[in-house]
Each structure stands twice: as structure tokens, then as C-alpha cells.
Amino acid sequence: MSSPQTALVTGASGLLGRAVTTAFNRKSWSVTGTGLTRANPPAILAVDLSDTNAVAKALDDVKPSVVVHCAANRFPDSCDANPDAARALNVAATRSLADLTAKRDVVLIYISTDYVFSGAPGEAPYETSATPAPTNLYGLTKLEGEKAVEEAYAAAGGNGKGVVLRVPVLYGKADKHADSAVNSLVDAVWKAQKEKVVMDGWAKRFPTNTEDVGRVIADVAALYTSKIEAGEGEGLPAILQFSSEDLFTKYEMCELFAHLMGLGLDKMEKDTKGNEGNTGVQRPFDCHLSTRALKELGIEVHTQDFKGWWRWELGAPLAAYPDRTIPSKRKYSSSLFQASGEDAGAGGGEGEVGNKYKPDAIANIKITVGINLELKIVAVRSTKLVTTPEGMTRTPYPH
């Protein structure tokens, strides 16, 4: 028997899994994660998702009312390079997990992707009822995972519910930039300071913050479990979609990051050819997802402003300590740079960052949030050049 308001999150140490865990904690749920290479018991259990017995034991020990399946191979190039491994995790492990959760009357929220659609010009936005037609192996394996969830719950015929949540490309707080196809563009901007970098300026992307996705997942979990408990789960939709409305190409994201970091982008070449002549992984042009189904359920679909989030992430840390040395705690890493420093921004290189920043302007901004809650933010602008360990310089974005 499952325990109410208890969640199990697969891939809990990953980009999305951490945000989902945080969202459940904020709603006072009891939440346990699973991981493999980054397990940290008892918060994150070491569970190999290909081991059915290990997964069953985790379910029986935790007794979740909801399982959120975040674990996946979510990089199209990696899926093409290792198709067997991609199918093992994205399809076989999903089918096994769904069989186990369905038999235990658990709500399973399976994280899927906008790449289940072709993204052909003129087709978006896609409703949940649109016919999937993936253009690459990644999208195909995630679609097969969707079908595995549907089939498992149809066969079980119990009181559980299999729910697919499709999301677009994600960004947010990450251990390293490479964890996100969006965050990694910060590294591409730095790389373009030294050498030519070709960047896609064709495909439309709708980058969505993991914190927002986590919030939506927790809201869906609460709604579905309460409806099922009340005997009203029959009409709940099995497919949901969530996306921001912030539209960028990858090249435009790089332009924004370069601006925020005070860097040029002369060595980055904008590629507008799309899939024409591309011998690698085919990418959809526009897979914008409709959020209509969530809205009809009464789930809030607002998202953080992409520019605003990155302005704070890349710019504010450099100006947040006007009168003292920046402490060296948070680590940033990439294949190009290995920077450490709690507020090292996007700058790179090994070692600690210990520059001091003197503000040349301070602005007080008063923001009203909700009812009777006022936040006073002090924005500091610094024009001090920041020297990276590689010898480059940049001017922090003026706040």
C-alpha cells in the first residue's frame, strides 16, 4: 500500500530531478530519489533501473503514491551514438518501471519530450492529441516510452494512473553546464572567444526552467492523487504538455549570453541551413507545445522570464559583493574551462576567483509579490573588468 504524499523521483541527481525533488519538498511531501553514479542514500538511493528486482525493492521500501520518471538519455547525439543504451534506458527501463508502478496503483509521471513531433514548419503549436512523428532516435525512444506507460496501465486495470508530461529543452541550476543543452551554450560563447564555432540559428526552441517544470509536476501529482482518492480519476488526461513561451534559436541564446557576460561573438557563425546537408542527427524546426490540457485542469503554467533568469545567473554574481572578495564555493565546469568560486559567473579556468568589485551605481527597486509582501532589491552595477585564468577580460552586465 502506498503512503499519501510520498514521491519517488528517478534521476534525482540530474538537471530536472533535483528541481522536482525541491518542488515536492516545498509542498511538504516525503520525497526520495534514485540515482546510480551520483547516489547519496538515504535521500538518493542507488538503484539500477535495468534491475527489476532493485526497482521493485525501492518501490516497496518507499511506498510512493507518485513516481516521477526523470531518468533518461536525453541528448539526441548520444542516443544516435549509443542506440542500444538509449533504448535500454528510455524504453526498456521505462516499460519495466511502468509495469511495477501500475501493479501497485501508483501514479507514474513519465517525462517525455517535444521531439516526439516532426516540428515541420506550420504545424506548431502541438496539442496533446496531435499525431507524433519523431525525426530522430531520441524522439522515437521517448515516444516508445510513452506507449510503454500507456500499455502497462491499461493492462493493470487498477486505480493507478500513467501520465505523460512532454517538455521542451530545459535549463536551470546545474552541477555543470554540460547537464543542459541550454546551459552548455555559455561554454560555447567562451569557446568562440578563441576559435570559430558554428551555431544553429534555424530551429525554434522554447527553453523552459526546471524549477517551473518541477512546480508543475508537483501540482499534477497533488491533483491526480486527490482525484483518484476521491474516485474521480477516470477522466484525468493521460498526456500533458508544458512549455515556456520564450522563443529563441540557439544562436540567439548565445547572443544573449555574450551580451550578459560583456563578450563579443565575432568568431561564432550563424547556421541557418537547418537539416539541409546535415549528415548528423535531424532536428525539428518548431515543436512548440500547447499547454491547453494543463490549463483546463487548473494547473498554473506561468514560467520564469528566460532573459531575466540568465541576467541574474550570469550578471548579478559578479556585482553582488561590492565591498569584499567573492567567496570561493560554487563550482562551474566545462570541457573548456574549470572555474571555481561561489560567484564566479561564467568565467573559466582552474583556481579561485578573488576579485573585489566597487559599485559605481546603486539602484533600489521595490517589487510587490502576491499580497502584502514586498521585496526590496538592491541592484549593483560594476564596470570593473574581470580577468579569467585564461587571460580574457569581460565587463559584467550593468544592472
Task: Give catalytic residues, as residue numbers.
Answer: 138
Closest CA to 103 of 43, 50, 56, 49: 56
CA distance 249 to 207: 10
On whether the CB atoms of residues 105 and 233 are closer than 8 A, the answer is no
Three-state SS string over 87-123 comes to: HHHHHHHHHHHHHHHHHCCCEEEEEEEHHHCCCCCCC
The Cα–Cα gap between 381 and 385 comes to: 12
Q: Residue 195 in contact with residue 87, Cβ under 8 Å? A: no
- Phi and psi of 113, rounded to 5°? -140, 155
Strands 197-200 and 208-209: unpaired
Q: Give the DSSP per-residue string, 35-89.
A: ESTT-BTTTEEE--TT-HHHHHHHHHHH--SEEEE------HHHHHHSHHHHHII
Q: Which cell numbers in the block locate residue 228?
A: 483518484
Residue with cell 539526441: 76
C-beta neighbour count of 291 within 10 angstroms: 20
- The Cα–Cα gap between 215 and 311 comes to 22
